[in-house]
A = this chain, B = another copy of it.
Amino acid sequence: LKLSLNYIFPKIQKMIHAEIVTIGDEILYGQIIDTNSSWIGSALSNIGIKVLRRASVGDEASEILDILAQAGKRAHLVIVTGGLGPTKDDITKHCFAQFFGSELALNSQALELVTEFFRKRGRTLTTINEQQAWLPACCTYIPNHFGTAPGMWFEQDGTVYVSLPGVPSEMKGIMTEQILPKLQGKFDLPVIHHKIIKTIGIGESYLAEIIADWETALPPHIKLAYLPSLAEVKLRLTCHGNNKQLLENEADKQIFLLKKIIPQYIYGYDNDELMHVIATQLLQQKLSVSTAESCTGGYLSHLFTALAGSSQYFEGGLVSYSNAIKEQILGVNASTLAQYGAVSEQTIAEMAQNIRLKLKTDIGLATSGIAGPSGGSEAKPVGTVWIALAHANGVFTKKLQLGGSRVQNIQLSATILLNLLRKYLIKQDLS
């Protein structure tokens, strides 16, 4: 993975370098995880700006001034988050004023927006919140439509400094709405087109093997990265050039070729999520689903119901954790359980079929396995999981042999079963 990163910035023109600075004692002391830096790093990379360094400093003026000076010397762009709240220990804008030899002044646009923010929520503006409209006189005011602390844009000696609130939702909102377009206008950035192909049901190394010829044949200005996570591998195409439309067409052409090689593994593109893809199919085909879970213990139905609108196709599920419930509520034959055990093809088939009939749905899904860390045997070691999908014309069963932690085995079982459902819905071969 790491080797494949350097391609992102070929030397096609003068590269714009950025540094990211996050401010706050709570970051240094590990009381929060700094997710802002990652988000900004990814957003800048996506528009062709290279992040050279990231730093975090505490709520101390000397530290903030020092890092501003250093980062400004090295980079064309310095993005700073945090320290813009109304309390005493939030000192970022005072530091910026000092750094640029400027003074704080009441910004009327900022005052209007923050007043409006409070008015809409039926609250009156307090003195402490009014202070948020005082900004360094030398800054370009960047409105915050997601909270009360304004953003700021400074330029000095060819370097751009951007100051944003540390609340992730506010930072992301302002970046997306205003800063990224402004940066694309300000700098002569390379034209970059990213396209993500989402695959499931195949490991990274095997995937790399079967698409090796396709990858080798990619033109030099289109690069491929593998981004693996639990059960999924995202393939990211990064296309460099001068013409956005041309790059989009080229990426689509490559995807067309890729789809011929691995049609069964691709479930979506860019922001598509597996559950959204499934939901769309279920709604289109007017099909309903129910679940009978043993080892996944409710996680599968949680995945269904976490999506808004799921009540249109998800009827319900049974977590049949004990054998008694498998037998008495779900109606699995006592003889099946006695003869083959709960973790068996015979039991899982009955579970899927019975939940489908009991809850009167088109499709019944079931899981039964040994999530671990204990409970395994020589014949059925930890990680042995049976999954099944029952429909009007039969039931499909599959045995998994997983090797993760308890929670990973639960998540993997549920995700692999969801992929089975996806394949069933688009009439792919299930085996």
Contacts and interface: CB of A to CB of B under 8 A. Distances in A.
Interface of A: 1-3, 5-6, 8, 24-35, 37-43, 45, 51-59, 63, 67, 85, 87-90, 227, 291, 293, 296-302, 304-306, 308-311, 314-322, 324-325, 329, 358-360, 372-374, 406-407, 410
Contacts of A32: 38
14 contacts: A5-B26, A6-B25, A27-B38, A29-B45, A30-B43, A33-B35, A54-B55, A54-B56, A301-B319, A308-B372, A308-B406, A309-B374, A310-B321, A316-B321
A14 B317 CA distance: 61
Nearest to A33: B38
A30 B8 CA distance: 13
Number of copies: 2
Given A38-B34, A41-B27, A89-B3, A53 B63 contact: yes
Nearest to A325: B316
A380 to B, nearest CB: 15
Contacts of A8: 29
A278 to B, nearest CB: 15
A371 B317 CA distance: 18
Contacts of A52: 28, 57-58, 63
A324 B315 contact: yes
A25 B2 contact: yes
A319 B39 CA distance: 36
A116 to B, nearest CB: 22
Contact of A305 (B6, B297, B318, B325): B297
Contacts of A41: 27-30
Q: 7 tightest CB-CB pairs across the interface, nearest first?
A: A297-B305, A30-B42, A298-B301, A30-B41, A298-B298, A298-B302, A30-B38
A297 B310 CA distance: 10
Contact of A360 (B38, B53, B324): B324
B53 A3 contact: no
Nearest to A320: B316
A54 B32 CA distance: 13
Contacts of A3: 87-89
A293 to B, nearest CB: 8
A215 to B, nearest CB: 19
Contact of A291 (B33, B34, B306, B319): B319
A372 B53 CA distance: 41
B26 A1 contact: yes
A35 B37 CA distance: 11
Given A3-B87, A58-B52, A329 B308 contact: no
Given A29-B41, A316-B320, 20 more contacts: A3-B87, A3-B89, A5-B29, A5-B31, A30-B41, A31-B38, A34-B34, A52-B63, A53-B56, A54-B56, A55-B56, A291-B319, A297-B310, A297-B314, A298-B300, A298-B301, A298-B317, A310-B321, A315-B322, A325-B359
Contacts of A304: 297-298
Contacts of A308: 372-374, 406
Contact of A297 (B53, B293, B306): B306
